[in-house]
Amino acid sequence: MNEKLERIFELLAPGKPIRKGIDRIMEANLGALLFFCSQPEKHLKEGLIQLGFRVDSDFLPEKIYELSKMDGAIVLNSDGTQILAANAQLNPDKSIPSSETGMRHKTAEKVSIQTGDLTVAVSKRRNIVSVYYNKMKYELLPENVLFARLNQEITIAQRYRQSFMNLLDYLNIEETRGNVSLSDVVEILSKGLLTIKIVQRAEKYLLELGEIAGSAKLEYEEILRTVPKYVGAVIMDYSSENLKYQRPEDATSIFKELDFNDLVDPFKIAKTLGYIDVSSEDDLEETALTSRGYRILYSTKLPTSAVKKVVESFKNLQELMNATFEELTDISGIGKRRAEIILGTLNKKKREKEEIEEETAQIISKEKK
């Protein structure tokens, strides 16, 4: 998340004392200009601030509501815990350009650019809160709008996650059959990466809502706790080169430059994986791939260093499936207990393969009859 936005939400998220004061100002259909000043004495001396009168009082929402009934700016300390002055005149450098039209907003923007401090302009006419900080402008959204947008993003992300998990189950089956194509992999990665992108869009709404975000934050954290690991493991299994990331989720970084449109383009995903010669749907379907075994080994909860050593000892998942206890324990860092864990997971995969083959044989037998 942008550090500037974090700073803004730290002070102005719903439920924060300053936001309560701003909400009172808006409810009363008043306007206001708040200046969170880091160097008040310096700015007084230089004439940027021209006092109306000093307040030097602890901050309370009710106080800035009452003080906003007067003309001029309200000056607070940088963390918003003290009201320093009210009815103040702010005189920013006239040479500083501004994209705003209203006097209050123009002043707020110029003061923020000149000082690097945070300023807030509450529009009486439009009932909008504009925040300026270090050359950035951000409009605070009403609480009900924030919740609506947050829930929408989380709901969409949940749908994509479910689709991704279903495709992951399909990939497991195709791996046991030795029938994985590049088309399968790019479709799975598309759903997984879009899930991550969508849920990341919800982050700013969570930050702006702060402590009142509620259960939506838990859903957000759950998606980001699991999906990037699964996606990263698929990337490490099927990238054209054996990637050297220690954690599976770090492998998603190879897609960080791709936007939403890119992530629905199978050829962009394929090329990012390293398959640069793919140019048609037939290429995607006919390019057969074999898992390196990262995903199945990560599921054992073994340390990533141990997983890497096992993968490096076998060419692919098919060879790993035939690994013996002795072969595993010969690998540095893989003792008896870890070898047993790996074999247990591989045996489960073998049983799934046998069940699939048996079901396939039964279907073929019925069709012949």
Nearest to 54 by CA among 67, 39, 45, 66: 67
3-state secondary structure of 75: strand
**pLDDT per residue as tens digits for the range 157-189:** 999 999 999 999 899 888 877 889 999 999 999
Which pLDDT band holds residue 364 (cuts at 50, 70, 90)?
A: low
What CA–CA distance (Å, rounded) separates 268 from 150?
Answer: 29
Which residue, 124, 139, 154, sits at the end of a domain? Answer: 139
> Which structure tokens are listed for 16?
């924060």
| 135 and 145 belong to one structural domain | no
Count of domains for the chain: 3
228-287 residue pLDDT tens = 999 999 999 999 998 988 899 999 999 999 999 999 999 999 999 999 999 999 999 999
Domain that includes residue 309, residue range: 293-368
Residue after which a domain boundary falls, among 269, 290, 311: 290
For residues 166 and 278, membership in a common domain is answered with yes
Chain-centroid distance, C-alpha 234: 19
103 and 240 both lie in a single domain: no
> Per-residue confidence at 359, pLDDT binned at 50, 70, 90?
low
Residues 176 and 305 in one domain: no
Weakest mean pLDDT among 1-5, 26-30, 147-151, 204-208: 1-5
d(CA 73, CA 87): 5
pLDDT digits (tens, 9 = 90+) for 60-112: 999 999 999 998 999 999 999 999 999 999 999 999 999 898 899 999 999 99
* Amino acid symbol at 150: L
303 and 346, same domain (yes or no)? yes
Polymer length of the chain: 369
Q: What is the DSSP string of 182-231?
A: HHHHHHHHHHHHHHHHHHHHTHHHHHHHGGG-THHHHHHHHHHHHHHHHH
Same domain, 97 and 221: no
Amino acid at 221: E
Are 242 and 254 spatial neighbours (Cβ–Cβ below 8 Å)?
no
Q: Is 361 exposed, middle or buried (0-12, 13-18, 19+ CB in 10 A)?
A: exposed
Are 134 and 145 contained in the same domain? no
Q: What is the CATH number of the domain that holds 97?
A: 3.40.1700.10
362 band by pLDDT with thresholds 50, 70 and 90: low
User: Is there a single domain that holds both residue 298 and residue 314?
Assistant: yes
276: its two tokens? 């640069």
Structure pTM? 0.77
Are 59 and 154 within one domain? no
Q: Are residues 160 and 236 in the same domain?
A: yes
Give the residues across from 180 on adjacent strands.
289
* Predicted pLDDT of residue 47: 94
Q: Please identify, among 290, 319, 334, the residue that sits at the C-terminal boundary of a domain.
A: 290
d(CA 293, CA 218): 31
Do 221 and 190 fall within a single domain?
A: yes
* pLDDT at position 215: 84
C-beta separation of 236 from 248 below 8 A: yes
